[in-house]
């Protein structure tokens, strides 16, 4: 919640060095890479490199687009998913691999215009599911990323 943190909540901090990568990451159910929790670009790049098949290219495109759109974006891998945030504001976006698509979660997506297409059980969250043959609308995704980065983020 904007402006409030619960006991144990973490704030988004500047990128820090990640621990050295180990063996090839295991793929969890649905093909999501199992990557150790870490802050900074290195664990996010390890996650992207471990994304199976065509999903790795989508991961690279999303990461590059987010990094261009939000200079100085903070990155982390938590719960086997990359997170993107703004220092002092919180996390605004997460990515997760599924068997047939890559899910982009906009944590305050209900405030974006136009709304990302995927609904959530959580009132404020909206999703964009990208499948192998879907067009990659870089301009629309960049618009959502830019809008999302200006909103109060989530403390996780």
Please give the full DSSP string across 52-93, using - where no structure is assigned: -TTHHHHHHHHHHHHHHHSTT-EEEEETTEEEEEETTTEEEE
> Which residue reads 């830019």 in tokens?
146
- pTM for the structure as a whole: 0.84
Hey, what domains does the chain have and what are their CATH numbers?
Answer: 29-150 (3.90.1150.200)
Q: Residues 113-148: pLDDT tens digits?
A: 999 999 999 999 999 999 999 999 999 999 999 999
Sheet order of strands, 101-106 included: 38-39, 74-78, 81-86, 90-97, 101-106, 126-131
Q: Give the model's pLDDT for residue 30.
A: 77
Q: Residues 48-107: pLDDT tens digits?
A: 999 999 999 999 999 999 999 999 999 999 999 999 999 999 999 999 999 999 999 999
Q: Give the model's pLDDT for residue 12.
A: 52
Q: Give the model's pLDDT for residue 29.
A: 75
């Amino acid at each position: 919640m904007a402006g409030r943190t619960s006991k144990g909540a973490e704030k988004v901090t500047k990128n820090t060095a990640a621990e050295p990568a180990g063996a090839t990451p295991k793929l969890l159910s649905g093909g999501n890479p199992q990557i150790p929790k870490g802050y900074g670009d290195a664990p996010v790049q390890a996650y992207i490199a471990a994304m199976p098949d065509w999903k790795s290219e989508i991961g690279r495109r999303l990461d590059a687009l987010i990094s261009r759109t939000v200079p100085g974006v903070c990155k982390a891998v938590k719960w086997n998913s990359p997170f993107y945030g703004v220092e002092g504001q919180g996390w605004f976006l997460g990515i997760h691999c599924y068997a047939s698509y890559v899910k982009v979660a906009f944590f305050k997506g209900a405030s974006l215009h136009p709304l990302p297409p995927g609904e959530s059980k959580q009132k404020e969250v909206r999703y964009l599911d990208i499948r192998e043959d879907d067009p990659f609308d870089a301009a629309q995704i960049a618009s959502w990323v830019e809008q999302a980065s200006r909103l109060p983020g989530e403390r996780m």
